[in-house]
Structure 1
Amino acid sequence: MQAELVLDARNGTGESPVWHAAEQALYWVDIPARALNRWHASEGHAQWHADEMIACIAPRADLPGAWIAGMESGIFSLQPQADGTLAATSLAPVAHAAPAMRFNDGRCDRQGRFWAGTMLLDMAAGARVGRLYSYRKGSDNATLQLDDLIVPNGLAFSPDGRTMYLSDSHPSVQAIWAFDYDTETGTPSNRRLFVDMKPLPGRPDGAAIDVDGCYWICGNDAGLVHRFTPDGRLDRSLEVPVKKPAMCAFGGPALDTLFVTSIRPGGIDLADQPLAGGVFALRPGVQGVPEPTFGS
């Protein structure tokens, strides 16, 4: 299956793609550029910048055009402005476990609660200071749900919302876990190993869920997107023309296009992957699940 180039975005770290069904547009972030991006098939590419790095986003149900986001110092509401900036309102500041941390991967559960993990900027240090938080509409604080993580990633929820998935991308971990998820209270339990990625190509990065309940996750460093069945079996692997796919999301009018963002590493020769940092589209032959909005 041939991956189609959607945009030669040259993102430093393209992350958190979200299909906005009402606009028929794809949104995503470039973390080091502190940028929110939008792509529409006929309207092209637009970009807005914030004062902090933006790591993960979800659309707000109660405020048209606005987004909830995990950033450097906490969880914010972002509103794109006509001058290319983002008006940011702090919703829940976070006291990180160590200096020089930021949020990383995140999304909403099926009930509209926002979930996001934190990590040390110096990923190579391997420090287990990463945490996973949840945030409910109207709250002044984010709730600590899990700790002892290095690079929390791969957050996703099954179509019925009763299973939560989480990965840790660090080379020393490379694991994906599944949890039972109480949809009433927003509480995960019964943590168990879903997939050990160490024997497989690529480190587990950002993920998506399809209508069959299968879990799609980017194999960072391997140029692959893997699909795992609900029982943890590797079903297929699709190639993208870059080494570091970062996160995937279903979109398009029928939710049957798998969009993939990627990373453009600095300081190395990219002659073998000139499209690194681009956004790609795959046609996997399955449909995705609509992305929940915050506070829905």
Structure 2
Amino acid sequence: MRAGDRARFEVAVPEKAALGEGPTWDPVAERLIWVDILGSRIHTFAPATGRRSVMVTEQHVGAAKPRAGGGLVVNLRDGIGLYGTDGAFGWLRRDPVPGRRGNDAVVAADGTLWAGTMRYDETPGGGSLTRVATDGTATEVFGSVAVSNGTGWSPDGSLMYYVDSPTRRIDVCRMGGGIPLDRRPLVTLGPGEGFPDGLSVDADGCVWVALWDGGQVRRYTPDGALDRTVELPVRRPTACAFGGPGLRDLYITTARTGLTAPHPLSGSLLVVPGAGQGLPGTAFGG
């Protein structure tokens, strides 16, 4: 799976999602969870059985992650919500700001949710990354960002990776006392390469990132060297995550929003079987 490899990806779920995002493996249910942000839908897919489900949310949904006791935590337009195992909904933290919505989110090893926001018009400084505790207490991690996107940690938890997409950078920070420090660029993409979007860190500590308007998913080593490239037929891959048996398969969400002539697979969930070795995730503790 080196540069120019088009043979390995497969279509996991054919779909016409406007803005597919946030793939997350749920090990308890053995299914992949992903969202269509602008379609206000949460999708699930169980690769062993092919079973699918779709749940409609009342607001645009930036991310949906498993909860430790069952159900989902969701990053919505107006804040963080919780779905129970019975489908009942309640707000954990409601913080509506006109013109702003939730975007990508990730659960840290301590069970807290690190939730990103952005303005619909992508105004610089209009978004943030916030750490949300299980009781709803929120602490701003990064303020004044434009499009808060991929976030992840090295296998030993000593480094954090972060993407504010319009900067064209993947940034890296060292962790100290649970706080990211000394943020600096690890990778900077040039014009025409696309914009970094969602990311996933593998068991080797390498960073896989989807390139919006770049038609690729790339793997970078911890020192920022380009290691692998997966070429895709869709222009707007949005995020990637490992799932399936042994966390060996790389699932890729895609979008068709804003495209005048999208590829037929734009909006579908794609998969690269046997792409590598993923890291086990953590369920939200609340």
**What TM-score does the superposition give when structure 2 sets the normalisation length?**
0.92
Local SS of the residue matching 1:247: strand
**What TM-score does the superposition give when structure 1 sets the normalisation length?**
0.89
Q: Whole-Å Cα distance in 1 between the matches of residues 209 and 109 of structure 2?
A: 19
Aligned to 1:137: 134
Q: Whole-Å Cα distance in 1 between the matches of residues 217 and 258 of structure 2?
A: 22
Aligned to 1:146: 142
Q: Whole-Å Cα distance in 1 between the matches of residues 230 and 88 of structure 2?
A: 38
Aligned to 2:29: 23
Does the CA contact (< 8 Å) of 1:5 and 1:280 recur in 2? yes
Structure 1 residues 37, 163: CA separation in 2 closer, same or farther (over 3 Å shift)? same
Aligned to 2:199: 207
Does the CA contact (< 8 Å) of 1:50 and 1:87 recur in 2? no
Q: How many angstroms does 1:193 deviate by?
A: 1.0
Does the CA contact (< 8 Å) of 1:109 and 1:161 recur in 2? no
Q: Whole-Å Cα distance in 2 between the matches of residues 111 and 229 of structure 1?
A: 25
**Match of residue 246, structure 1, among 206, 224, 238:** 238
Q: Whole-Å Cα distance in 2 between the matches of residues 32 and 254 of structure 1?
A: 31
Aligned to 1:119: 118
CA displacement 1:109-134 (0-9 Å, x = unmatched): 122111011100112xx332111100
**Match of residue 165, structure 2, among 165, 169, 172:** 169
Does the CA contact (< 8 Å) of 1:10 and 1:277 recur in 2? yes
For structure 1, the 5+ residue unaligned runs are none
Q: Whole-Å Cα distance in 1 between the matches of residues 149 and 233 of structure 2?
A: 22
CA displacement 1:3-37 (0-9 Å, x = unmatched): 10011111111111111112221110111111111
Q: How many angstroms does 1:141 deviate by?
A: 2.7
Q: How many angstroms does 1:58 deviate by?
A: 1.8
**Match of residue 62, structure 2, among 27, 50, 55:** 55
CA displacement 1:69-122 (0-9 Å, x = unmatched): 1111111112365xxxx53211112254xx210011110112211101110011
Q: How many angstroms does 1:267 deviate by?
A: 6.0
**Match of residue 259, structure 1, among 251, 260, 268:** 251
Match runs of 1:273-292 below 5 Å = 273-283=263-273, 285-292=275-282
Q: Whole-Å Cα distance in 1 between the matches of residues 61 and 27 of structure 2?
A: 22
2:172 matches 1:178: yes
Does the CA contact (< 8 Å) of 1:21 and 1:253 recur in 2? no
Give the letter for the 2:74 counterpart: A
Q: Whole-Å Cα distance in 1 between the matches of residues 64 and 46 of structure 2?
A: 18
Aligned to 2:19: 13
Q: Any runs of at least 4 consecutive aligned residues in structure 1 with deviations exceeding 4 A, and if so which?
A: none
Local SS of the residue matching 1:249: strand
Aligned residues: 279
Q: Whole-Å Cα distance in 1 between the matches of residues 19 and 96 of structure 2?
A: 24
2:155 matches 1:156: no
Q: Whole-Å Cα distance in 1 between the matches of residues 118 and 272 of structure 2?
A: 29
Q: How many angstroms does 1:56 deviate by?
A: 1.2
Local SS of the residue matching 2:246: coil
| Identity across the alignment (%) | 33
Q: Whole-Å Cα distance in 2 between the matches of residues 265 and 60 of structure 1?
A: 29
